[in-house]
Amino acid sequence: MKKQQNILIIGAGLCGSLLALRLGQRGFNVNLYEMRPDLRKVNISAGRSINLALSDRGLKAMRLAGVEDQVKKLCIPMNGRLLHDSDGNTVLAPYSGREHEFINSISRGDLNALLLNEAETHQNVSIHFNKKCKSVDFENTTAFFEDYKTKETFVEDADIIIATDGAGSALRKSYFLGKKFLFSFSQDWLTHGYKELSILPAANGGYQTYKNALHIWGRDSFMLIALPNLDGSFTVTLFLSFDEGDYNFGNLTTPEKVLEFFEIYFKDALALMPNLIDEFFTNPTAPLGTVKCSPWSYKGNTLLMGDAAHAIVPFYGQGMNASFEDVVEFDKALDEGQPNSEEGWEAIFKAYQTNRKKDTDAIADLAIDNFHEMKGHVNNAIFREKRNLEMTLEKNFPNAYSSKYSLVTFNEEIGYREAMLRGRAQDKAILNMLTDKELDISDDLETNLKKVNRATEEILENDRVAKNFKH
C-alpha cells in the first residue's frame, strides 16, 4: 500500500468543492486551488448564472456527500414552466404528472459556500484562494499557478491532479496545445448569447410574480426566463441572437431601443423590472457554448471533470447536475478500482470515462434541443397536445410512463444517454401519431399508453437494427 495520496484539485466551483468534500471523506490528502477570492467573504457575483436548477441527479450527489438536508433548505421548488404570451396571459405547464417531481431554484453562491464549509471540516482538505492555474505539466503531474494578489508564480506537485476549472480549463488547454497525444476536442457556439437581469422583491419582501415556477417568455427566435431567489427576487435571463433578427445584442445599443424591445415582447415582465436599463448596460453579454473532448485523462495522473470535460448550454437545467453526477460516478469508479498505484488510477480514469462520456455527450445534445423547445415549441399546438397527453399518462400510470423531460430530470437511476434514446423515440412516436391523427386524446388512456409504447418500441428497435450497421 502506497503512502496516503496527495490529490490536487484545480477550481473550487460547484464540482471542485463537492469533489474535494467527497475525496476528503474518503481520506485522501486534498489541496483545492481556486483562482477567485473566497466567495464566503467577498461578493463576487458577476451578473452571470446567479441561480441554477437543482434536480434529482444533483440531489443524489448531495445525498452521497451527506448534505442533502442542508441543501434542501436553500431550494425553491419549481413545479413547471409558467408560460407568458405577448399579451401577458400565462399558463402553467407542469414538469411532470407526478406531484413529487419538480426542480429547484438554488443560489449558486449559497450552494458553493455550503460545499466549501463542509469540505473544510475535514482536516485532510486545504483550500487555497486567489491562485490561478495557468497550465499543467501533465507529464510530470505539476501545476503552474499565479497568485492573484502578489502575481507571484509557483509550481505545485501532486500524485493526482483533477481539473474542475470549468469551460476554460487550464488542464484541457494544456492537453490541446501540448500535442503529446491525439486529443479530440470541440467547442460549439450558439448564435445566441445571454444577459442576466432581475425582478426585485415586492415592497413587503414577497414575490412580484408566481414563485414556484420557471417563468418563460418564449418568442420563437429569442426568449426571456426567470428563476426565483430566496430573497423574493427573480434572476431573469435574456437569450437573444448576437446579430440576427430585428432586435439583437448587436443593435440593442440605446435605452430607447431596449425599452421598445421589452415593450413589444415582454410587457408584463418589463413592468416588474425598474432596473432593466441599468442592468442591461452594466451586465455582460456572454456566449453560450458546448465543449466536448476526449480523452479526459492522461495516464494515471491527470483528469478533467465537470465543465472542464463537458461544458453544456443551460437549457435543460442540467449543467450543475451533470457535474455533480460526475462526482457520483467517479466515486463508483473509485469503489471498483485500486487507487493505490499509478496503474490503478489509470484504470479508474478509463473506466470512469467509458461509463460516463456517453451520458455527458447526450445531455450536451439534449440541452441544445431544449433551447428550441423552450423558445418556440412550448407555444405550438401539437407540442402542447403531446405534453398534455404525457402529463395525463404520468399522473394515471405513475410507474409506467415517463416523458423525456422526466427521464432526464427525475430518473437518476438511468443515464442521460438512455433517457435521450427512449425520450426522443417517445417524442417521435407521439408527434407523428398526433400529426397523422392516429392518436386521439379523448380515447381511453390505457389504449393511448399502449399505442405510445408500441410505437416507441418499434422506433427503438428499427434504430437498433440500422445502428448495428453504422458502428
Q: In Å, how far are 126, 335, 421, 461 from 308, measured between CA atoms?
A: 21, 23, 25, 35
Sign of CA dihedral 149, 150, 152, 155: negative
Residue 369 near its own copies by CB under 8 A: yes
Stretch that binds its own copies, among 18-26, 77-85, 407-415, 422-430 (CB under 8 A): 422-430
The string of DSSP letters for 361-377 reads HHHHHHHHHHHHHHHTG
Residues 210/84, Cβ–Cβ less than 8 Å: no
Beta carbon of residue 426, minimum distance to its own copies (angstroms, whole number):
10
Could you count the other beta carbons within 10 Å of the beta carbon of residue 164?
30
Per DSSP, the three-state class of 227 is: strand
- Cell numbers for 97: 404528472
According to CB under 8 A, which one of 383, 401, 410, 416 is a site residue for its own copies? Answer: 383
CB-count burial class (<10 Å; 0-12, 13-18, 19+) for 152: exposed
Residue 466 near its own copies by CB under 8 A: yes
According to CB under 8 A, which one of 86, 282, 340, 462 is a site residue for its own copies? Answer: 462
Beta carbon of residue 183, minimum distance to its own copies (angstroms, whole number):
8
Report the residue number, 188 or 443, with the smaller CB distance to its own copies.
188
Residue 187 near its own copies by CB under 8 A: yes
CA gap 372, 218 in Å, rounded: 10
Stretch that binds its own copies, among 154-162, 211-219, 284-292, 318-326 (CB under 8 A): 284-292
Stretch that binds its own copies, among 213-221, 317-325, 341-349, 375-383 (CB under 8 A): 375-383
Beta carbon of residue 77, minimum distance to its own copies (angstroms, whole number):
27
Please report, as residue ranges, which positions from 59 to 118 form the binding site for its own copies (by CB under 8 A): none
Stretch that binds its own copies, among 52-60, 146-154, 163-171, 176-184 (CB under 8 A): 176-184
Q: Which residues, other chains included, contact 248 with Cβ-Cβ below 8 Å and sequence gap of 6+? A: 240, 241, 242
Cα-atom radius of gyration of the chain, to the nearest Å?
Answer: 23
**String marking each residue 210-249 x if it binds its own copies according to CB under 8 A:** --------------------------------x-------
Beta carbon of residue 332, minimum distance to its own copies (angstroms, whole number):
24
CA gap 94, 92 in Å, rounded: 6
Stretch that binds its own copies, among 182-190, 274-282, 305-313, 338-346 (CB under 8 A): 182-190
According to CB under 8 A, which one of 340, 354, 435, 447 is a site residue for its own copies? Answer: 435
Beta carbon of residue 109, minimum distance to its own copies (angstroms, whole number):
28
The residue count for binding its own copies (CB under 8 A) is: 31
Residue 287 near its own copies by CB under 8 A: yes
Residue 203 near its own copies by CB under 8 A: no
CA gap 277, 258 in Å, rounded: 7
CA gap 124, 320 in Å, rounded: 25
CA gap 466, 203 in Å, rounded: 60
Report the residue number, 356 or 375, with the smaller CB distance to its own copies.
375
According to CB under 8 A, which one of 2, 149, 180, 372 is a site residue for its own copies? Answer: 372
Q: Which residues, other chains included, contact 33 with Cβ-Cβ below 8 Å and sequence gap of 6+? A: 8, 9, 10, 11, 12, 128, 131, 133, 143, 145, 156
Q: Which residues, other chains included, contact 80 with Cβ-Cβ below 8 Å and sequence gap of 6+? A: 92, 93, 94, 95, 102, 213, 214
Residues contributing to the site for its own copies (CB under 8 A): 182-189, 242, 287, 289, 292, 369, 372-373, 377, 380, 383, 424, 427-428, 431-432, 435, 462-463, 465-466, 469-471
